[in-house]
Amino acid sequence: MKKFKFLVLLVVSIMAGTVLKANNDTKVRFATFDINEARKKAGEEGKLIFVDFYASWCTPCQWMEKTTFADEEVANIINKDFVALKVNIDEFSGYDLKIAYQVKYLPTMLIFNSQGQVIDRVEATMSPRKLVDWLNTHNTTDNKTIVRHEFNTKPTQVTPEVIESPSMKATKEEFTRQYDEKYTGHTYSVQVGVFERFDGAQNMVNSLRQLFTEEITVVHDMKDDHAIFRVRLGQFRSDEDARKFKDMLKVEYNMEGLVL
């Protein structure tokens, strides 16, 4: 009798473990192919495209991976009605798309219709509930039609249609400069502000743009389980150049900075 009870408990434990494992495995299935293949598949199947830009060092991105993208309702919607891609901006092809779609905040998420056109973007972390609401807003029959995309370029290349997208405003010279900085060595910037609210960071960005021509970026980070926004100014080839710029900010604008 004791042996029978033990066997029953063992079977129940195994079944519970199996169910738990199945629940833990419930997550968004991100495809491994590139944006051209995603557009082709979405067009053939009448689906939308969901693209998540991230980096391995991005703490909010890691939070979304563990929570939002592991949520059952989020996974069900994306897996059923979207072709989902994750784009690492620190990889070769990911950096190209970062420049192409002017991604300066992480995480950034884009939604394309089945014709391959960007219809919305979000530049912030999103809870499962907020992401579900956002996805459902665009998950309509108008945005999901059968389209046949023909590409003459290699699958790993961005097509001319993407390059000419209205969201891609970088000039050839700017793209070349950013590409060289990315792949010829580490770049440095000067952090000039940290904010708890995005609108505070955006106000500073707007003010800085009236004074400087240097690139301005906002890094979305987490501190003590709260979102913070770091405003950084400039992209410099060397620590020395960044420190000279920091000193100039102090002398001419009485602005404190931190070289990163």
Q: Which tens digit of pLDDT belongs to each residue from 206-252?
A: 878 877 878 888 887 777 777 788 888 888 888 888 898 899 888 88
The tally of domains found in the chain comes to: 2
pLDDT band at 132 (very low <50, low <70, confident <90, very high): very high
What is the pLDDT, as a whole number, of residue 150?
53
CA angle (120, 123, 127) in 5-degree steps? 95
- How many CB atoms are located within 10 Å of the residue 237 CB? 14
- Tell whether 6 is covered by a domain: no
> At which of 110, 127, 162 does a domain end?
162
- Tell whether 73 is covered by a domain: yes
- Tell whether 226 is covered by a domain: yes
Same domain, 42 and 141: yes
Same domain, 46 and 148: yes
Q: Is the pLDDT of residue 57 over 50?
A: yes
Same domain, 156 and 200: no
Backbone φ and ψ of 83, nearest 5°: -100, 115
CATH number at residue 251: 3.30.70.1070
User: Residue 189 and residue 246: Cα distance in Å, rounded?
Assistant: 9
Alpha helix stretches (DSSP H) within 101-254: 128-138, 160-163, 172-183, 198-209, 239-253
What is the pLDDT, as a whole number, of residue 186?
64
CA angle (180, 181, 184) in 5-degree steps? 70
Same domain, 201 and 157: no
Token duo for residue 216? 């301005």
- Tell whether 83 is covered by a domain: yes
- Residue 207, CA atoms < 13 Å, CB-side half-sphere: 12
CB contact at 8 A, 50 and 109: yes
User: Residue 13 and residue 16: Cα distance in Å, rounded?
Assistant: 5
> At which of 162, 177, 197 does a domain end?
162
Same domain, 255 and 190: yes
Same domain, 158 and 35: yes
- Tell whether 101 is covered by a domain: yes
Same domain, 40 and 141: yes
What is the pLDDT, as a whole number, of residue 147?
66
Same domain, 131 and 227: no
- Tell whether 201 is covered by a domain: yes
Same domain, 117 and 239: no
pLDDT band at 82 (very low <50, low <70, confident <90, very high): very high
Same domain, 153 and 242: no
Same domain, 124 and 194: no
Same domain, 151 and 200: no
> At which of 162, 196, 219 does a domain end?
162
> Poorest-confidence range of 56-70, 80-94, 167-181?
167-181
User: Residue 109 and residue 4: Cα distance in Å, rounded?
Assistant: 54
CATH number at residue 58: 3.40.30.10
Domain of 242 in residue numbering reads as 186-259
User: Residue 162 and residue 87: Cα distance in Å, rounded?
Assistant: 15
What is the pLDDT, as a whole number, of residue 158?
40
Segment 134-185, tens digit of pLDDT: 999 998 888 877 766 554 433 333 433 333 333 333 344 444 444 444 444 5
Q: Which helix (H) or strand (E) holds 78?
A: helix 72-81
